[in-house]
Structure 1
């Protein structure tokens, strides 16, 4: 198969989807890999390293899309990439369709095969390609929250861990999944008082067992959220409904309950955000203020630490990318329930229920489209 690795062009996105080590693996199985010049530079990988690994370099993103059967990316295509995408071309990347109707319609129109990292799902319902970036984003959420809690950054002017004789900051974490767990561990390790909320009692029992003494677990509901935001200094939004839009747990009217300079970090922003007042920001312009509350809503948080993020991501994605390259997407998805669940849009049809529900668009069962595609290609 011919694999294309374009340079990421989203604002301040420095990750790359395939490392030189990944190129070596693709080449070992006889595949051809084209990498756009300087694609790995932001993550610390030179063009020379890619050439040594067996990749062929192309100068422009257009050349990559034009020649590749499978495009492997990190972030979803942006508007300037839409016209480059070909019918039947396989795109393997994060899409987060439920947060962007424009992207959804564009991929339907291009009739591409869109296999989303974030909905590849194991039998135990874990999301192996979302986990590494959730770990990074959860840990970063505390770093960023602590920074913007400083007075010059618009926050309340509180040191996260406090000092002797001065109480530490109160951190509220909404969601006890990977993001929430990593955020709580980081905040607790820095000495903050942490409250983590989730709707699953078994998950809260687990967190109660593994977390240090400065972490409390509380059942998530509107009453408890309203009560806790009144004294929280940092609020981390880390809820997830796989493939669907995130629920709004903090509404606009709740902001008046918070103290001026409270910092809200919405890690769920790439799925539409879990705060009603959230809208996506960039690393270049990461925050804004609503009702004296600082909002940090960067949609590609791990892009700020690209070396760590690229290695963490590609460790997880490469085995799946090799399956797709070795077998072709139809056979790979037929044999792997995990990859099958990653299919979101195929040749103009939405095959993932969460995307269909987000915009009220027609849904076609994935198996029906897979059977149809397989018969056409026989």
Structure 2
């Protein structure tokens, strides 16, 4: 198969779809790889590194989109990229379609086969291609939250760790999945007073076993969320419903009872955000203030640490990229129900139930698409 990797064009997005090591592995399976010139510069990998691994370097994105049978990216295609996709071409990347009807419409119009990293599953129901970036985003959430708490950035002027005689900052983490667990780990390591809230008693028990009395755990009720948010200096939104829009756990009215200068970091912003007042921001202008509360809502947080993020993502996506390239999308998806869960758009239709529901589209499952193919 001819596989293409364009340079990412989203604001401050420096990651790249394949590393040179991934290119070399795909080449050993007999596949050809096109890399847009400069695509790997953000991770410190120049064209020579990709050429040495066996890739063909092409001058622009148009050359990649026009020739490749499968496009491997990191972030969702921007409108200009969507318009270069064609019927039957495979797109393998993050999509986050539920809060993005414009992208969904363009992908449907293109006729592309769009497989989303964030809805691929494994045998335990986990999201193996979302997990690496969730780990990065969860750890980063505490870093950016700590910076946002600085007075010069609109925050309370509170140090997460406190100092002898002065208590540490209070951190509330909404969601005990991969993002939340990694956020709690870093916040605890920095000396903060951390509470994590989740609706799964089993998950809370696991976290209690992992961190013991250093981490406070609460079962997710409206009252528990309100109490934690109202007393927190930093709130990290780490909830996820695969493929669907994130639930709004913090309302505009709740901001009025928070401390002025408290910080909200919405890691769920890719799926629409879990705070009612959230709106996507960029690394250029990451925060804004509503009712005295600082909001950090950057939609591609891991893009700020592209080298770490790219290598973590590439090692997770490579086995699936190989399966798609070795067998073609139809055979690969028929043989692997977990990869099949990643199919979001096929031949002009939304085919993931949660995405279709979020966008108000008729639900058409991947099984039906493959049965008719």
The CA distance in 1 between the partners of 2:220 and 2:150, in whole Å, is 28
Whether 2:322 is the aligned partner of 1:295: answer: no
CA distance in 1, matches of 2:179, 2:63: 37
Distance in 1, Cα, partners of 2:164 & 2:323? 55
SS in 1 for 2:83: helix
Counterpart secondary structure, 1:253: helix
Residue equivalent to 1:327: 327
**Within 2, Cα distance between the matches of 1:242 and 1:290?**
28
Deviations 1:123-149 (A, max 9, x none): 210110000000000000000000000
Q: C-alpha separation between the residues in 2 aligned to 1:12 and 1:151?
A: 25
Q: How does 1:207-286 map to 2 (within 5 A)?
A: 207-286=207-286
Once the two structures are TM-superposed, the CA of residue 228 in structure 1 deviates from its matched residue by 1.6
> In 2, Cα distance between the equivalents of 1:16 and 1:95?
15
Runs of 4+ in structure 1 over 2 Å off: none
Structure 2 unaligned residues grouped into runs of 5+: none
CA deviation after TM superposition for structure 1 residue 213, in Å? 2.9
SS in 2 for 1:162: coil
Matches within 5 A, 1:40-51: 40-51=40-51
Partners of 1:121 and 1:216 in 2: CA distance: 29
Cα distance in 1, alignment partners of residues 223 and 27 from structure 2: 56
Superposition map of 1:1-150 within 5 A: 1-150=1-150
CA distance in 1, matches of 2:32, 2:3: 6
Structure 1 unaligned blocks of 5 or more: 374-378
RMSD in angstroms over aligned alpha carbons? 0.7
Rounded Cα–Cα distance in structure 2 between residues aligned with 1:83 and 1:180: 36
Match of 1:168 in 2: 168
- Partner-residue secondary structure (3-state), 1:211: helix
In the TM superposition, residue 32 of structure 1 has moved relative to its aligned partner by 0.6
Q: Secondary structure at the match of 2:231?
A: coil
CA distance in 1, matches of 2:282, 2:127: 25
> How many pairs does the alignment contain?
373
Whether the aligned pair in 2 keeps the contact of 1:192 and 1:214 (CA below 8 Å) is no
**1:364-375 pair list within 5 angstroms:** 364-373=364-373
Q: How does 1:189-208 map to 2 (within 5 A)?
A: 189-208=189-208
Distance 2:98 2:308 in 1: 27
Does the 8 A contact of 1:13 with 1:303 survive in 2? Answer: yes
Q: Distance in 2 between matches of 1:58 and 1:181?
A: 41
Residues 174-233 of structure 1: CA distance to partner in whole angstroms, max 9, x if unpaired?
A: 000000000001000100000000001111111111114331000111111111222100
- The match for 1:376 is none
Deviation of 1:48 (Å): 0.4
**1:79 Cα shift?**
1.1
TM-score by length of structure 1 reads: 0.98
